[in-house]
Amino acid sequence: MDAKIKTLHAGKGAEPKHSDFRPAELDPSEFLAAAVRPDQPRPSRNEAEQAVKTLIAYIGEDVAREGLLDTPRRVVEAYDELFQGYHQCPADVLNRTFGETAGYDDFVLIRDMGFTSHCEHHMMPFYGKAHIAYVPVERVVGLSKLARLVDIFGHRLQTQEHMTAQLAAAIDEVLKPRGVAVLIEAEHTCMSTRGIRKEGAFTLTTRFTGSFRDNPAEQSRFLSLARAR
């Protein structure tokens, strides 16, 4: 499954030729800045806790039961942690680079970066591993910064396809490398614990830019190395 999206500019009923295909552009605000503005209106913590009480009552529970008295506070605190990515700036994570590459001219790959995110459709977790490679131009970014970038986008309500595209776009825009490759493989609990209930089914998404997009051999090498065990 590929995170590429057909562009919206083709004529009615026209299919773009494969050689002319390019993914739709993302809005830079989706991958460069914090998602929550300081002046953005938000419910108070007390209002959020009352909303949790409403959901508890909706499922048929007694909100006054001893074991549930402190649950609304705990849920809101958990949300502060699980969705902290809305307050973090992806561009800031990538803004410090290093020039000591000694003429290195191949791609840099970090694989098996574990993450947990939440599906924006059911607000249920999906989790797995992200693999990212990029071909630097003179300067490289600290390895931990790419892992932090995965966490920022993971700690938001997401679709896996969108998260894959955001990671590639942020690296491409800030580092301006020769190419970026992203592979995400994840299990979705909205599919494994409800609905069709297919436990152990994994979804794979990819996004390629630059030299990776234009060179199928490099795509294959990236995928082979990323999934090697």
Beta strands of 35-168 (E only): which ranges? 97-98, 108-119, 125-135, 140-141, 157-158
Same domain, 62 and 155: no
pLDDT score, position 89: 94
The predicted model gives 16-41 an average pLDDT of 72
Structural domains of the chain, count: 2
The residues carrying an active-site annotation are 119-122, 160, 188, 190
Answer yes or no: do 106 and 67 share one domain.
Answer: no
pTM of structure: 0.86
How distant, in Å, are the alpha carbons of 48, 73, 138, 160 from that of 80? 11, 11, 38, 21
Evaluate if residue 4 carries a pLDDT over 50: no
Same domain, 177 and 201: yes
Whether residue 174 sits in one domain with residue 130: yes
Average pLDDT over residues 69-88: 97
How much of the chain, in percent, has pLDDT values that exceed 90?
Answer: 74
Whether residues 166 and 74 fall in one domain: no
Q: Are residues 99 and 51 in the same domain?
A: no
The model's confidence at residue 224, banded by pLDDT at 50, 70 and 90, is very high
Q: If you average pLDDT over residues 217-222, what whole number do you get?
A: 97
Q: What is the CATH number of the domain that holds 55?
A: 1.10.286.10
Domain membership of residue 198 (yes or no) is yes
Q: In terms of C-beta distances under 8 Å and separation of at least 24 residues, what long-range contacts does 114-119 make, across chains too?
A: 115/150, 115/151, 115/154, 115/186, 116/154, 117/153, 117/154, 117/155, 117/156, 117/158, 117/160, 117/163, 117/186, 118/82, 118/83, 118/156, 118/157, 118/158, 119/157, 119/158, 119/159, 119/188, 119/189, 119/190
Q: Show the domain range for 74.
A: 45-82
Give yes or no: residues 105 and 205 share one domain.
Answer: yes
Give me the pLDDT at residue 39, please.
84
Higher pLDDT, 40 or 3: 40
User: In the structure, what pLDDT confidence band is assigned to residue 23 with cuts at 50, 70 and 90?
Assistant: low
pLDDT, residue 20, reads 56
Q: Would residue 25 count as lying in a domain?
A: no
Show which of 35, 54, 82 is a domain's final residue. 82
Q: Provide the CATH number for the domain around residue 186.
A: 3.30.1130.10
Do 215 and 105 reside in the same domain of the chain? Answer: yes
pLDDT tens for each residue of 89-148: 999 999 989 887 778 889 999 999 999 999 999 999 999 999 999 999 988 999 999 999
- Residue 77 sits in the same domain as residue 122: no
Regarding whether 209 and 123 lie in a shared domain, the answer is yes
